[in-house]
């Protein structure tokens, strides 16, 4: 595993790290209490994971840290050990706040913190999440707590009602920050921060490292040390294939590519608007979920399409170059050039949308034999020009989206927030937070991605119930 530590983009000590790796990985090398070390040993944490080894030394000296590491890499214990070490148990006030995207994740974090806190007597950890009854939370808050774990919407509600005070807060953690942004929580997070003292330590944990995350870090952290652990370099890894196809067989070839490589999501680039619509329609006829986007769409139609593709309720987007401008999809598994691009530059731009964040990307380019000369210009040692007949045809292949988008006729102008929607969907024997995907809130409309099999339930829950005490019309595309 390669490990990078940066401050303001400058590597701090990667050489030193490799050199001292052995002692660096031991918890006993940190200034932790005897009780904490004993407990870590008891619960089977024999040595630090990479992200813990990289972040804990900084966290323990009180620095703000922005840490990126894959799921399952032990981020909870990284901030957990940090905040528990800092905690003054005798001072019975809320000293740490951990914001999480969903109730399930908050429960998991609270559970891990309780395990880590076993060695420290009388640490009170409280979860405050939307989708749970408000009353009992008031009761628990009256009894006091050291550490609060919760979702941004519900925390904000308590802060506004003054049932929770952050006056004594000295550690704030944003866990799964990327997911919180995806779920539309950025405004709530900002408002929660208005209640927090300036003089505090702020930790930000995320599985991905995007510009949005960096912007949040800039806004809420001071001189943050950035810590990344990755097993691959961050440059794009894209496998590029070229196929010569016979006139009229491009669509079938494309379907064969889908069935052979099974991409999660694909952008198909073509050169004209008419073609974009035709391709999307034909794919739909073939039970491949596709939407077209081009310059002829109205702004709102364009928005509907982009939201659905970005929140995983559409798997194939057929686009012209102009229409795809500004499209920011974090994880795109495949790009198809249905036609040869007009220039190498366009080609590079198109395929550069896949293979981000260390994941491997796939790029396919189709051309007809009469375009052979133009295609020839794309030849280099890494691009594979393969025989299209080697692509197996699979009959009955379908591509269905993972999510379906619920549209709510209400938005920012109605003061709707992600937390309200999440609350309305998960409250009263409603959905599990994990079945809810991305939430996008615009001025007059909100979009919520719901896992396919729960769409009926979600629709019913919102149609029959109220959001913020009001009825809104709700529909799916």
* Contacting residues toward ligand ADP, per CB under 6 A: 45, 48-49, 52, 69, 71-77, 112
String marking each residue 226-265 x if it binds Mg ion according to CB under 5 A: ----------------------------------------
Q: Which is nearer to ligand ADP, 24 or 195 (CB)?
A: 24
Query: What is the bridge-based pairing of β-strands 237-245 and 384-386?
Result: parallel
Q: What are phi and psi of 394, to 5 degrees?
A: -115, 125
Token pair for residue 202?
């702020």
Closest residue by Cα to residue 192 from 219, 244, 152, 249: 152
Contact 74, 52 (CB under 8 A): yes
In the complex, the smallest distance separating the C-beta of residue 175 from Mg ion, rounded to whole angstroms, is 6
Q: Which is nearer to Mg ion, 106 or 290 (CB)?
A: 106
Q: Which is nearer to ligand ADP, 9 or 72 (CB)?
A: 72
In the complex, the smallest distance separating the C-beta of residue 75 from Mg ion, rounded to whole angstroms, is 5
Q: Residue 158 in 3-state DSSP? A: helix
Question: For Mg ion, which residue has the nearest CB?
Answer: 75
In the complex, the smallest distance separating the C-beta of residue 227 from ligand ADP, rounded to whole angstroms, is 13
**Chosen from Mg ion, ligand ADP, none, partner binding at 365 (C-beta under 5 to 8 Å by type):** none
Q: Which is nearer to ligand ADP, 114 or 470 (CB)?
A: 114
Token pair for residue 375?
């295609």
String marking each residue 27-66 x if it binds Mg ion according to CB under 5 A: ----------------------------------------
**Chosen from ligand ADP, Mg ion, none, partner binding at 79 (C-beta under 5 to 8 Å by type):** none
Site size toward Mg ion, by CB under 5 A = 1
Query: How much is the CA Rg of the chain, to the nearest whole Å?
Result: 25
CB-based contacts of 79: which residues, under 8 Å, 6+ apart? Answer: 55, 59, 98, 173, 175, 203, 205
- 73-83 in b/e form (b: 16+ CB < 10 A) is bbbbbbbbbbb
In the complex, the smallest distance separating the C-beta of residue 50 from Mg ion, rounded to whole angstroms, is 15
**Chosen from Mg ion, ligand ADP, none, partner binding at 73 (C-beta under 5 to 8 Å by type):** ligand ADP
Q: Residue 171 in 3-state DSSP? A: strand
Q: How many CB atoms lie within 10 A of CB 92?
A: 14
Beta bridge partners of 476: 406
Q: Which is nearer to ligand ADP, 49 or 256 (CB)?
A: 49
In the complex, the smallest distance separating the C-beta of residue 70 from Mg ion, rounded to whole angstroms, is 10
In the complex, the smallest distance separating the C-beta of residue 232 from Mg ion, rounded to whole angstroms, is 21
Token pair for residue 345?
């530059």
Contact 96, 147 (CB under 8 A): yes
In the complex, the smallest distance separating the C-beta of residue 70 from ligand ADP, rounded to whole angstroms, is 7
By CB under 5 A, which span of 71-79, 80-88, 298-306, 362-370 interacts with Mg ion? 71-79
Distance CA 31, CA 46 (A): 16
- Interface residue list for Mg ion (CB under 5 A): 75
């Amino acid at each position: 595993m390669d490990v990078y530590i940066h401050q303001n983009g400058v590597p701090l000590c990667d050489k030193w790290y490799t050199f001292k790796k052995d002692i660096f990985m031991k918890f006993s090398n940190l200034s932790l209490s005897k009780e904490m070390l004993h407990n870590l040993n008891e619960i089977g944490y024999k040595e630090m994971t990479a992200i813990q080894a990289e972040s804990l030394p900084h966290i323990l000296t009180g620095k703000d840290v922005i840490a990126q590491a894959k799921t399952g890499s032990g981020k909870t214990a990284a901030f957990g050990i940090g905040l528990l070490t800092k905690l003054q148990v005798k001072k019975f006030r809320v000293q740490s706040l951990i914001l999480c995207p969903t109730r399930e994740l908050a429960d998991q974090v609270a559970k891990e913190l309780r395990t880590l806190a076993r060695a420290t007597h009388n640490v009170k950890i409280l979860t405050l999440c939307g989708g749970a009854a408000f009353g009992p939370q008031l009761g628990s808050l009256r009894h006091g707590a050291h550490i609060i774990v919760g979702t941004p919407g519900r925390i904000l509600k308590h802060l506004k009602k003054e049932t929770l005070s952050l006056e004594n807060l000295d550690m704030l953690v944003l866990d799964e920050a990327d997911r919180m942004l995806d779920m539309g929580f950025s405004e709530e997070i900002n408002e929660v921060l208005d209640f927090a003292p300036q003089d505090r330590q702020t930790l930000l944990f995320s599985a991905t490292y995007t510009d949005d995350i960096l912007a949040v870090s800039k806004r809420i952290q001071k001189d943050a040390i950035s810590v990344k652990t990755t097993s691959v370099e961050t440059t794009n890894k894209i496998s590029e294939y070229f196929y010569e196809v016979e006139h009229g067989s491009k669509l079938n070839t494309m379907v064969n590519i889908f069935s052979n490589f099974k991409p999660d999501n694909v952008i198909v680039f073509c050169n004209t608007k008419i073609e974009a619509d035709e391709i999307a329609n034909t794919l739909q006829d073939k039970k491949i979920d596709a939407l077209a986007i081009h310059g002829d769409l109205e702004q709102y139609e364009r928005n509907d399409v982009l939201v659905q593709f970005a929140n995983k309720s559409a798997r194939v987007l057929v686009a012209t170059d102009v229409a795809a401008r500004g499209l920011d999809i974090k994880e795109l598994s495949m790009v198809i050039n249905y036609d040869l691009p007009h220039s190498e530059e366009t080609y590079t731009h198109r395929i550069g949308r896949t293979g981000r964040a260390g994941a491997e990307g796939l790029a396919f380019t189709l051309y007809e034999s009469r375009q052979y000369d133009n295609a020839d210009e794309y030849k280099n040692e890494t691009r594979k020009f393969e025989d299209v007949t080697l692509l197996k045809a699979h009959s009955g292949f379908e591509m269905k989206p993972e999510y379906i988008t619920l549209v709510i006729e209400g938005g920012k102008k109605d003061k709707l927030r992600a937390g309200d929607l999440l609350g309305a969907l998960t409250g009263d024997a409603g959905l599990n937070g994990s079945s809810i995907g991305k939430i996008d809130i615009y001025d007059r409309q909100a979009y919520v991605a719901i896992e396919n099999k729960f769409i009926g339930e979600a629709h019913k829950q919102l149609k029959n119930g109220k959001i913020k005490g009001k009825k809104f019309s709700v529909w799916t595309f």
